[in-house]
Amino acid sequence: MPLFMMVCTDKPGALETRKATREAHLAYVRDTGCVVQAGPLLDNAGEMAGSLIVLDLPDMAAATAWGMNDPYAKAGLFADVRLQEWKKVMG
């Protein structure tokens, strides 16, 4: 299956929304079983300010659906989401 990278930028001032939704997001990541790698993007103060997620799914439609059903997305956390097919070369 192809890999897709999702880079999400949080809305300004949304750290509390992220913290309040974090457990549901982590459960979704765990339970869906398609996340190859993931972690928060950090701002200059070292606080969570976005997400980088690599998904192993059959196509862009499945990756889009996964992103739309993420509890973070449902909570309106993101100001911007970039989803693109990604080719693993190293690691």
CATH (domain of 14): 3.30.70.1060
The pLDDT of residue 90: 87
Rounded to the nearest angstrom, the gap between the alpha carbon of residue 88 and the centroid of all alpha carbons in its chain is: 18
The pLDDT of residue 1: 80
Assigned domain for 22 exists = yes
Say yes or no to pLDDT of 22 above 90: yes
Assigned domain for 74 exists = yes
**For 5-15, what is the mean pLDDT?**
97
Assigned domain for 91 exists = no
Assigned domain for 24 exists = yes
Alpha helix locations (H) across the chain? 15-32, 60-69, 71-74
Tell me which residue range forms the domain holding 50.
Answer: 3-86
Assigned domain for 53 exists = yes
Tokens of 75: 């909570």
Query: Looking at the 3D structure of the chain, how many domains does it have?
Result: 1
Which DSSP helix (H) or strand (E) runs through 56? strand 48-56
The Cα–Cα gap between 30 and 37 comes to 11
Predicted model pTM: 0.93
59 contacts 10 by C-beta, under 8 angstroms: no
Mean pLDDT in the chain? 97
Assigned domain for 78 exists = yes
85 contacts 15 by C-beta, under 8 angstroms: no
Residue 67: pLDDT band with limits 50, 70, 90: very high
The Cα–Cα gap between 79 and 89 comes to 29
